[in-house]
Chain A
Amino acid sequence: MGWALLFIAPATIGLVALYLWPFLSTFVKSFQDVPAFGPATYTGLDNYVELVGDGEVWKAFGNSALYTVLVLLGIPLAVVLAALIEQVSRGRSVYRVLFFLPVVTLPVAVGMVWRFIYNGDFGLLNYVLSWFGIDGHYWVADPRFTIYAFAAVGIWMGLGINLIILGAGLQAIPKAVYEASALDGAGRVRQFFHITVPLLSPSIFFVTILTVIAALQMFDLIFIMLRSVNNTALADSKTIVYLFYEKAFVQFQQGYGAAVAIVLLIVIMIATALQFRLQRSWVFYG
């Protein structure tokens, strides 16, 4: 008993010091007016009241929600790709590495590269579109497109990790099921929808949970692609975590920033709880 406690102590201390304590202090700060330096004063629910009436907060939640929905479209894509890679007999690992590279690339580097790709005048994307006679846009300088542009990068960045998880799930499906269905005359497409997807659904569910949480926390792309270059589209493209950063660290309003963070936490908890409820109707646990 004593030894056991000793061995779990490092992890526990780390958890308390690096997660639990900051969380509690954020929670407390959300009920305070916290200047950059000096003592904080309790203001009760003021931060939350202000937050509800703050159009910027609603807009940021809207942007984050749109981004999340768009990034979720990457999951069907990942399922199809994972199934296709599973069919490849040679060089499977080459494909895995190719799709995994963005995952291990620094988000800063990813942001910089995509900023050039999306550039309205000299960008690669508009150049390629011009081959097909399509007029390009200022993808990350026009607030109408920014969230969509971010989502495309978000899907690309998350694809690799999703493929690994889904690939592992695919290998757990017994080959005998496919062989039996083939004998019964099922084609590839039919097998995909009636065997692969249902038997893979626990992995798909897991990937969905992770994707939603990561998407609601999107920050680095917007920081690198808009903020670091004084892009005027920033005002209309803020995500909720970006807004938190801006309030707490640029505008010295830590209390208000903390309230934004707490609301985000609640939203993530509700979104996750909702998914656990909904999974009963579509996830198949054999």
Chain B
Amino acid sequence: MRHTWTAALAAAATLLTACSSGSTGSTGEAAPAGEKVTLTYANWSEDQAPAMEQIAAEFQKENPNITVKVQTLPWPEYWSTLQVGAAGGTAPDAFWMLADHFREYAKGGALIDLSDTVKSAGIDMTAYPKAVSDSYTYEGKIFALPKDFDTNGIWYNKALFDAAGVKYPDDTWGWQQVQDAAAKLTDKAKGVWGIAAPIDAQGGYYNTILQAGGSIIKPGGTASDFAGPEAVAGLKFWTDLQKAGSSPTLKQLSDTEAVSMFESQKVAMYFSGAYWALRFHNNADLKGKVDVAPLPQGVKRATVTSGIGNAGYAGSKHPEELKKFLAFLGGTKAAEIQAATGTVLPAYKGTQQPWLDSMPEFKLQVFIDAVDYSVPLPVAGNTAEWQGLAAQYLAPAWDGAKPVEEAAKEYQAAVDEVLAKQ
């Protein structure tokens, strides 16, 4: 009987301490030496989860008193879970962040400030692509360390190029070569198209707008530039492909995603990021048939780039351990594990060779070379809101129901209205 009471008291005491450490939140001290601490680390990718586990294990080897639990959430639930958790005090300690969501979290004080950690741990911020590290800085403070990055290239199907007798794309290609090749590669009778031209911002029209000399969001972030002559040229690159019938229609690409079309060898070219490399590498049907080339040149060379950042929750119960873990995630060891497993292109300079070596059949150097002319993914105001309007406003231009200039002007007006709200 006595024992039961002691146990109950002990349990009550644990509960109390748990509550009190919760309320002290970010001001809490590091746990006393020897005490076991558990951190959670959330991500949204089944593909990358094994590498994240490996990184967590490596960290635990160096820090035996800290256990890291990797949580993989499905993509559709990831952001709502994180947002509700951060507002309600139950968010994971460490988690993946994206540039277009970052501002809301940083502005709302949901992220732990890593500026001091960067200094004390001696992290060299120049080791990351500047376009990526800049997108995780808010009001001069660093809130996330770049995990990986992606630039865009032309993924192409060599077998389809050979069958149509078209030369493979290379770094000499301009826009016209893409248009011409796409037309030649299209064989409607066989159900093959030269290219996939969906309404895709990151892999698609953002790049061509920049290549035409446009800016997407005007400096200062209070107005957009979708209707300027350069932006219209960048959009026309895609609508022309639609008009020429060199791409599956928008409806077809809604039913079957562009990447699936590419994987089932229905389209010969697909403009997209480095992040597909592992998936194409693992697809037995595509063995020996796929390679990648730089994006074509417009008026100039350009690609948007973005990368996942590792961020921490400001309300974590173990801020000191969390900072230590985040510094580890931003370091070379975590980068090397990601590279060696072929998971993604790690952000840390000089750690990319194992990634290149892990899939030697692709000219992956293309994605690293592209860093030199890369531009950060545009973010301004409530990015998720205005980006969500793109399909609605641009679809008529893709369908040919409206002139591109008109659709672009209407989209710009809608985006500017969102930007004016901040």
A residues at B contact (CB < 8 Å): 35-38, 118-123, 138, 140-142, 223, 226-236, 246, 249-253
Contacts and interface: CB of A to CB of B under 8 A. Distances in A.
Contact residues of A: prevailing secondary structure: loop
Contacts of A123: 255
B32 interface: no
Given A37-B108, A38-B108, A252 B382 contact: yes
Contacts of A231: 254-255
B86 interface: yes
B83 interface: yes
B79 interface: yes
Nearest to A139: B255
A37 B87 contact: yes
19 contacts: A36-B83, A37-B86, A37-B110, A119-B255, A120-B255, A121-B252, A121-B256, A138-B255, A141-B251, A141-B252, A231-B255, A232-B199, A232-B253, A232-B398, A233-B251, A233-B254, A234-B391, A249-B80, A251-B388
B168 interface: no
A218 B198 CA distance: 28
B384 A250 contact: yes
A37 B108 CA distance: 5
Nearest to B81: A249
A234 B390 CA distance: 11
B105 interface: yes
B257 to A, nearest CB: 6
Given A37-B86, A229-B257, A235 B252 contact: no
Interface of B: 75-76, 79-80, 83, 86-87, 104-105, 107-110, 198-200, 250-257, 382, 384-385, 388, 391-392, 395, 398
Nearest to A120: B255
Nearest to A249: B80
Nearest to A122: B256
Contact of A229 (B86, B108, B252, B254): B254
A250 B388 contact: yes
Given A37-B108, A138-B255, A235 B395 contact: yes
A120 B395 CA distance: 18
Contacts of A227: 76
Given A230-B257, A246-B388, A251-B382, A36 B252 contact: no
B109 A228 contact: no
A226 B256 CA distance: 11
A118 B252 CA distance: 12
Given A232-B250, A251-B382, A36 B255 contact: no
B198 to A, nearest CB: 7
Nearest to A123: B255
A141 B200 CA distance: 16
B141 to A, nearest CB: 16
A123 B254 CA distance: 13
B257 A249 contact: no
A198 B250 CA distance: 50
A59 to B, nearest CB: 11
B216 to A, nearest CB: 19
B109 A37 contact: yes
Q: Nearest 8 A-B pairs (CB), nearest first?
A: A37-B108, A235-B392, A141-B254, A141-B251, A138-B251, A231-B254, A249-B80, A251-B385
A230 B79 CA distance: 16
Give the most central of A37, A119, A250, A251: most B CB within 10 Å.
Answer: A37
A150 to B, nearest CB: 15
A252 B104 contact: yes
A223 B80 CA distance: 14
B192 to A, nearest CB: 13
A13 to B, nearest CB: 18
A234 B109 CA distance: 33
A249 B395 contact: no
Nearest to B104: A36
Contacts of B104: 35-37, 252
Contacts of B75: 228
B422 to A, nearest CB: 10
Contacts of A235: 391-392, 395
B110 A119 contact: no
A261 to B, nearest CB: 15
A120 B261 CA distance: 13
Contact of A120 (B76, B109, B199, B252): B252
A52 to B, nearest CB: 17
B83 A249 contact: yes
B108 A138 contact: no
A36 B381 CA distance: 13
